[in-house]
Amino acid sequence: MIDLETTDNFAWRVFDQIGIKPTKRKTLLSIGSRPSSRDYILTWFIEQGFNATILEVYKPYVEQLRSKGFNVIEGDVRTTELGEYDIIVWWHGPEHITILEGIEVTKKLKGLAKEALIYCVPWGEMASPAVDGNNANIHLASYEPMDFLGLGMKEAHWGMTGVANAKIIGWWKQPD
């Protein structure tokens, strides 16, 4: 069980603001997941009853995640054909592709999200090297709050630009 007091309180407040309503009938696409990290956002959605699928580009991670029992699609968000999901979450991932690619991917994902699309990125420029030999972990873009507004998303931010652990959460919901 996720202890909301010791993890990311900012994220939980934003999820409450977005109005995510847990149910066992909802589907989730989580884009990118490093098996060695504690993916508390994915864990939270699963604990709320979401039927989760992970899209992962790095084959060794795909194999590790599958060995842990996760439903994983091996592919790149830029090129992989995907179906619809109730909620699509890309937590610390949009910064791993260029801004121009991010614009196109956002359009694509909005067309696949039946209820909401949620991103989280570092606020400002944060260098990130390849991890575990995974070059897809390198940061190719940096974001500011206004970037999400330009994508037609709402945003909330915490911290200060360029400071460790500062983040922006951007979200878009299907109109009612």
**Mean pLDDT, the chain, integer:** 87
Tokens 């098996």 identify what position?
35
Identify which of 60, 4, 3 has the alpha carbon closest to the alpha carbon of residue 35. Answer: 60
Q: Above 70 in pLDDT, residue 3?
A: no
**H or E stretch covering 14:** helix 9-18
pLDDT in tens, 143-168: 999 999 999 999 988 888 778 788 89
| Top-ranked range on mean pLDDT: pick from 106-120, 124-138, 155-169 | 106-120
Q: How many domains does the chain have?
A: 1
Identify which of 138, 141, 102 has the alpha carbon closest to the alpha carbon of residue 125.
141
Asked if residue 20 is part of any domain, the answer here is no
pLDDT at 35: 77
Contacting residues for 59 by C-beta, under 8 A, at least 6 apart: 74
pLDDT score at 105: 97
2 inside domain? no
- Judge whether 22 lies within some domain: no
* Mean pLDDT on 19-35: 81
153 inside domain: yes
Distance (Å, whole) CA 105 – CA 93: 12
The residue-averaged pLDDT of 91-107 equals 95
User: Is position 17 within any domain?
Assistant: no
Q: Which domain holds residue 45?
A: 27-173
Evaluate whether residue 12 is within a structural domain.
no
Which CATH number do you get for residue 163? 3.40.50.150
The more confidently predicted of residues 8 and 147 is 147
pLDDT of the residue at 176: 73
Whether 56 is covered by a domain: the verdict is yes
Residue 72 lies in a domain: yes
Taking only the tens place, the pLDDT of each residue in 35-91 is 766 677 888 888 888 899 999 999 999 999 999 999 999 999 999 999 999 999 999
